[in-house]
Structure 1
Amino acid sequence: MSQVEHLDTLILGSGQGGKRLAWHLGHSGQRVAVVERQWVGGSCPAVACLPSKNEIWSARIAYLTRHAAGFGTITGPLAIDMSKVRDRKIDMIEREVALHLKAYAASGAELIMGSGRFIGPKTMEVQLNDGGTRTLSADQVVVNVGTHAAIPDVPGLRDAQPLTHIGALELDYAPAHLVVLGGGYIGIEMAQAYRRFGSRVTVIEHNERLMSREDADVSDEVLRILNAEGIDVILSAETVKVAGRSGTGVSIVLRTASGEQVIEGSDILVSAGRVPNTAGIGLEAAGIELDERGYIRVNERLQAATPGVWAIGEAAGSPHFTHVSVDDFRIVRDNMAGGNRTTSDRLIPYTMFSDPPLAHVGLSESEAHRKNIAIRVAKVPMTNVLRTFATDETQGFMKAIIGADDDRILGFTMIGAEAGEVMTTVQTAMLAGMPYQTLRDAVISHLTYAEGLGAVLSNVPALPAK
């Protein structure tokens, strides 16, 4: 074993929360090191959030160009250069890497590229990517190792070398027929993007509807949008076996209510959940406990059972969103400084970057029913929002969840253009504790999508007479 180097704080993984903590502690004068196996800024800028939205935007440009004639712009024959699509994404990633390296240098935090494994309490051995080994220990340790795509235990699936979201963003061609296993958020984003790049696309979902955590009207609207773009969706389908190899030809045998059927495709993309990256990194040697799903066991302060050990992001069981990892950083930062910040009171929004996007914050209608929370529901189609008269972006709806016994906004869902931006307005009102009437009667700029909030909140049923 190499000589042990002692640090103030050692962070395994350079994801959103971990790198921000490293930069903060480095600027504060601590000796900090981040051990990262592969991606300088973590998965978000390298293979996940930014790259996927980059390619989704390229796909939107292709879609708008195909439909330009309806707006008075006449184009010639359309061709998609997937190499250019990929190169645009790579250029963005390279800019992100440069920004990250600059931030590390400015903070004084050290970035160590290598594979880390705990060999004892708060002690780690790092196999450096360029050769050699370092042994590090620290007063405080933070685990920020994220998750990876799950590959279901279906006969032949692993042998087919399926794409995950990482591989799908590296293709320099549009598959002739892309088969997507999983009708969740990532699967839907990728399915729509590749359909717009020119692929035939089939989505296979084992549940009876897409995005089964969402309200039924949300699932139905997203299904309608996908079908309208020519995407085939097979619901309530069990994948029995897979043959062939992604990229050269695959055959997927399904069991459905109507009997067995076979789907032939050129490529297969798996989008069937996530698995924490907690195996094989020596957590047991460090005394770090896992829960029954393999996530690091932490309390509401994001502290592990071992004193001086913290966890951030998806591996800590936090909701799988980059913005949550950023908030995890704030919680750990403040608690390391003696604060008492917790995860218990967070209002967590999310956006699926389909077109139109889906955005949600707070309580859903179905969740309220499961929890026996009395609510009032207000809903309007996007055709009731005047902005859509100018843009023709009429798909989707806005839905507000209001307390049955008071006027608090408990939740909001929107499928429609700029849904994430509009949802953030409602989130702000919820954080401020505003009654819905305050937002309903606000003077909102015309002609915007947010103006539709006045329409939906005007539809809130009145409180029952006492």
Structure 2
Amino acid sequence: MSKPFDAIVIGAGQAGPSLVGQLTGAGMKVLMVERKLFGGTCVNTGCMPTKTLVASAYAAHLARRASDFGILVGAEVGIDMKRVKQRADTVSYNARTGVEKWLRGMENCTVIEGHARFTAPHEIAIGSETYTAPRIFLNVGGRANIPDMPGINDIEYLTNTSILQLDEVPEHLVVVGGSYIGLEFAQMYRRFGAEVTVVEKGPRLVSREDEDISDAIKDILEAEGIAMRLNAECISFKPHPNGVEVGVDCTNGAPSVVGSHVLMAIGRRPNTDDLALDKAGVALDERGFIKVDDHLATNVDGIWALGDCNGRGAFTHTAYNDYEIVAANLLDGENRKVSERIPGYALYIDPPLGRVGVTESQARASGRPILVSKRPMTRVGRAVERDETLGFMKVIADAETQKILGAAILGTSGDEAIHGILDTMNADVGYPQLKWSVPIHPTVSELIPTLLGDLKPA
């Protein structure tokens, strides 16, 4: 006999626990199902452990540069990778156990650890037990995408999850994929002391960004000794006495590179292939993402999809915003929409890239009259004082409406400074409002009014 609930939430990632809190607070009896680790990708294999590792790598990098600041330290900078890993593990563990404790302590919330599968549109099975609810929320996340490349099944490789288990520095890490995840690990392990090669099928890194951003990122990483193999049209793998031989078939350079370790960083795929969604009639797109409307509802009444599994955002903050949208519409009678969300994100190399809105290329392709301004980070006093002047700021605005369309800050604290522009865009006001603000000196953000004041037709 099925056990009834008012709502079932599958997946304790970024959106799930907060949604459970809202639903139980509204008096609903809720079942929370988590089959592996509470907290989801961000807490366990994404933001929290990786940014903890990035911080350790930055400390090593800064220690090597100590003399530039007049600080005298020993000649060698040692890396205790076991301690580095322990620190990241501790951060994840504390966050994970905190989420679990919060859920288990909620009134009206039943927590079950297990693998949920649909047996009907509003019924799931976990082991031999079945549960029903008129409202089901899918927050099942995603995992590393491993394309069927020649030789991939003949080698051992790392993903963004398994690489976190390393407690030693690889001799030579080959990163397959020149986008966000791959580049963060590439710089991180280079700073830990590994030889690093990035293999990218396309002609440039982070191809969704403007070409000047891609070029600057490439220059930054190459300056730290990271080898780049772009235009790798035919990537293949085979075992080698020293690890793995990666065929790259590039237009320039040796046809292959040998690494002690290989990290596969070629995008993500949703965890939707083992939920028996067909039994519920939930529609998927060609990539396996759950199709949702502007309110995050699926094609089946009473079933919603939030977070990475719906293809409408690939970040912790977009997953959390999915929860906010669903909760506001369901419980508060609002009409929040995903399409109203202004996209913003960051790439956590050093210096970081903060991004919001459209790129310059996208703005030009729209055919609308635009204004563009660009300033180097060498003009930022805070960057000069830190001796971290790599990168630049760029903003794009609509010439007619004076609304900011997008911006990029590739530079020290770029991930924080971008929020001044993001907030202006969310407020839906013209750039003159921000242009005449009086920012604090000395900060990275203080150059933004100057940047806006230099907007010119493009």
TM-score for the superposition, normalised by structure 1: 0.95
Match for residue 29 of structure 1? 27
Deviation, 1:248, is 5.9
Within the candidate set 277, 289, 293, 2:287 is matched to: 293
For the structure 1 residues 462 and 266, does the alpha-carbon distance in structure 2 shift closer, same or farther, using more than 3 Å as the test?
closer
| 1:286-328 CA-partner distances (Å, limit 9, x unpaired) | 1111112211111111111111111101111111011001110
Q: What amino acid does structure 1 have at the position aligned with 2:293?
A: N
In structure 1, distance between residues paired with 2:189 and 2:253: 28
Within the candidate set 253, 269, 274, 1:275 is matched to: 269
Contact 2:201 2:235 in 1 (8 A): no
Match for residue 53 of structure 1? 51
RMSD: 1.6
Match for residue 74 of structure 1? 72
Establish whether residue 387 from structure 1 lines up as the match of residue 378 from structure 2. no
Contact 1:253 1:260 in 2 (8 A): no
Establish whether residue 229 from structure 1 lines up as the match of residue 224 from structure 2. yes
What are the equivalent positions in structure 2 for 1:38-437 lying under 5 Å apart?
38-76=36-74, 77-108=76-107, 109-127=109-127, 133-244=128-239, 249-258=243-252, 261-337=255-331, 338-437=333-432
In structure 2, distance between residues paired with 1:183 and 1:208: 10
In structure 2, distance between residues paired with 1:351 and 1:462: 27
Contact 1:151 1:158 in 2 (8 A): no
Give the unaligned 5+ runs of structure 2: none
For the structure 1 residues 255 and 146, does the alpha-carbon distance in structure 2 shift closer, same or farther, using more than 3 Å as the test?
same
Deviation, 1:28, is 2.1
For the structure 1 residues 233 and 319, does the alpha-carbon distance in structure 2 shift closer, same or farther, using more than 3 Å as the test?
same
In structure 1, distance between residues paired with 2:436 and 2:327: 39
Contact 1:55 1:169 in 2 (8 A): no
State the aligned residue count. 455
The SS at the match of 1:169 is: helix
Match for residue 130 of structure 1? none
The SS at the match of 1:255 is: coil
Deviation larger for 29-38 or 200-209: 29-38
The SS at the match of 1:195 is: helix
In structure 2, distance between residues paired with 1:105 and 1:272: 36
TM-score for the superposition, normalised by structure 2: 0.96
Q: What amino acid does structure 1 have at the position aligned with 2:45?
A: V
Q: What amino acid does structure 2 have at the position aligned with 1:116?
A: A
Give the unaligned 5+ runs of structure 1: 128-132
For the structure 1 residues 20 and 248, does the alpha-carbon distance in structure 2 shift closer, same or farther, using more than 3 Å as the test?
farther
| 1:373-399 CA-partner distances (Å, limit 9, x unpaired) | 321110000001111221111000000
Deviation larger for 350-359 or 26-35: 26-35
Contact 2:229 2:248 in 1 (8 A): no
Deviation larger for 423-432 or 174-183: 423-432
Contact 2:136 2:302 in 1 (8 A): yes
The SS at the match of 1:238 is: coil
Contact 2:297 2:303 in 1 (8 A): yes
Q: What amino acid does structure 2 have at the position aligned with 1:300?
A: D
For the structure 1 residues 159 and 12, does the alpha-carbon distance in structure 2 shift closer, same or farther, using more than 3 Å as the test?
farther
Match for residue 7 of structure 1? 5
Deviation, 1:198, is 0.3
